[in-house]
Amino acid sequence: MYEDIYKAYLFNPFDVKNWSDKQIEEQVRTLIPKYKAQAETMYEMASNVEVLANIMYLFGEMIARITREYGLLKIDVDAKEKKQITIQRKTWVEENPNEKAPAMSYFEAKAAEFVRDDKDKLMSKYEQLTRFKQAYESYEHIMNAIKKKMDAVKYEEFNK
């Protein structure tokens, strides 16, 4: 973990990938207070850009992790649902040997009911992913606004 903001640029994907989610959260919580909302000098604004860039890096790591978790969970849920369609149809045919089996959509609906809780977990993971993506984009917009403000200050100071 890095207490000093100037060492925060040392975030390295080879190191951070080994951090726990809790360590990433703690690092973000260390960085947030270093952001100066009322920054007026170029130094303070540049410092804010660095803080935001580091937070965005950590959010990007979380986005990567959650994307992987979401993808693996989706594979599991899809496989479980497809397997359940086959099981549902086979069971129906065995129990009703003299009748024509209903349309596949019937068994697909039964399988969807069977994996409902798993799909709920999948959607929860997607919600978490969406929140991190929105936070990342929000920080990116703030950082871009600060950079524009820095350009405006630079223009005002040197082009009078």
Backbone angles phi and psi of 39, in degrees to 5: -60, 130
Q: Looking at residue 68, what is its pLDDT?
A: 98
CA 113 to chain centre: 27
In sequence order, what DSSP letters do the residues of 34-84 get, joined into one string? Answer: G--TT--SHHHHHHHHHHHHHHHHHHHHHHHHHHHHHHHHHHHHHHHHHHH
Q: pLDDT grade, residue 23 (50/70/90)?
A: very high
Average pLDDT over residues 97-108: 94
8 Å CB contact between 150 and 45:
yes
Among candidate residues 58, 65, 61, 71, the one with its CA nearest the CA of residue 122: 71
Mean pLDDT of the chain: 91
Average pLDDT over residues 97-113: 95
pLDDT exceeds cutoff 70 at 1: no
Q: Using CA atoms, how far apart are residues 31 and 25, in angstroms rounded to an integer? A: 10
Average pLDDT over residues 94-115: 95
